[in-house]
């Protein structure tokens, strides 16, 4: 009975830890300073991690979990970017390496420059790519820039796009000029 209970507990622990999976390739947001990678921990193992340049291990070497800084990586696929091997400290045996590709995901949102405007000009729809983001800033009403709401001056408008857990943004400055005022017409 004791052996059966031990097997069931071991199986339960294995099943619980096996729920942590990483799809290969792993997707990392462009200029991400920290990404955690892990394997199931075994107290009789010493882990040796290798990360492809320009990735840098910033913590956890020798353990079952590391933190990697990918902020210097260019967008695109890095084959075999993360590798881990384990050595059993009791037997001295070395595991086969486990490899993971990493895809550095980048989106460059844009706002088509517009303006300058006069304070009395009507609202204009801003042209942004990719679609699906959020505009913010003084004078933004929905997806439009409204000079009469913004008022006179330079206005920084931000477009933020989120996809795949990554957030990217860009800004544009839009100028609004004061409406000229005239004195009444006078007659001599």
- Helix %, strand %, coil % of the chain (to 5): 10, 45, 45
Write down the pLDDT at residue 21: 53
pLDDT in tens, 143-185: 999 999 999 999 999 999 999 889 999 999 999 999 898 999 9
The string of DSSP letters for 124-170 reads EE--EESTT-EEESTTEETTEE-HHHH-SEEEEEEEEEEETTEEEEE
pLDDT at residue 2 in the model: 43
Q: Output the average pLDDT for the chain.
A: 89
pTM equals 0.71
1: DSSP letter: -
Chain segment 125-145, per-residue pLDDT in tens? 999 999 999 999 999 998 999
Q: What is the pLDDT of residue 22?
A: 65
What is the DSSP secondary structure assignment for residue 119, as one 8-state letter? T
pLDDT at 7: 33
- Domains identified in the chain and CATH numbers: 22-105 (2.60.40.60), 110-177 (2.60.40)
Residue 26: pLDDT over 70: yes
Residue 48, pLDDT score:
97
Q: 56 CB contacts (<8 Å, ≥6 apart)?
A: 68, 69, 72
Written as six digits, the tokens of 4 are 């059966």
């Amino acid at each position: 009975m004791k052996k059966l209970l031990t097997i069931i507990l071991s199986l339960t622990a294995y099943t619980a830890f096996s729920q942590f999976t990483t799809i290969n390739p792993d997707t990392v947001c462009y200029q991400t300073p920290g990404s955690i990678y892990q394997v199931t921990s075994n107290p009789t193992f010493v882990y040796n991690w290798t990360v492809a340049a320009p990735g840098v291990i910033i913590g956890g070497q020798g353990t079952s979990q590391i933190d990697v800084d990918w902020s210097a990586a260019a967008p695109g696929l890095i084959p075999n970017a993360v590798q881990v091997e384990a050595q059993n400290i009791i037997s001295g045996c070395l595991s086969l390496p486990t490899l993971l590709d990493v895809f550095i995901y980048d989106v460059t949102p844009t706002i088509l420059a517009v303006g300058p405007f006069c304070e009395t000009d009507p609202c204009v729809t801003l042209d942004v790519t990719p679609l699906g983001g959020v505009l913010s800033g003084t004078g933004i009403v929905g997806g439009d820039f409204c000079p009469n709401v913004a008022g006179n001056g330079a206005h920084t408008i931000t477009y933020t796009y989120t996809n795949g857990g990554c957030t990217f943004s860009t800004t544009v400055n839009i100028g609004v000029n004061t409406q000229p005022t005239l004195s009444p017409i006078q007659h001599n």
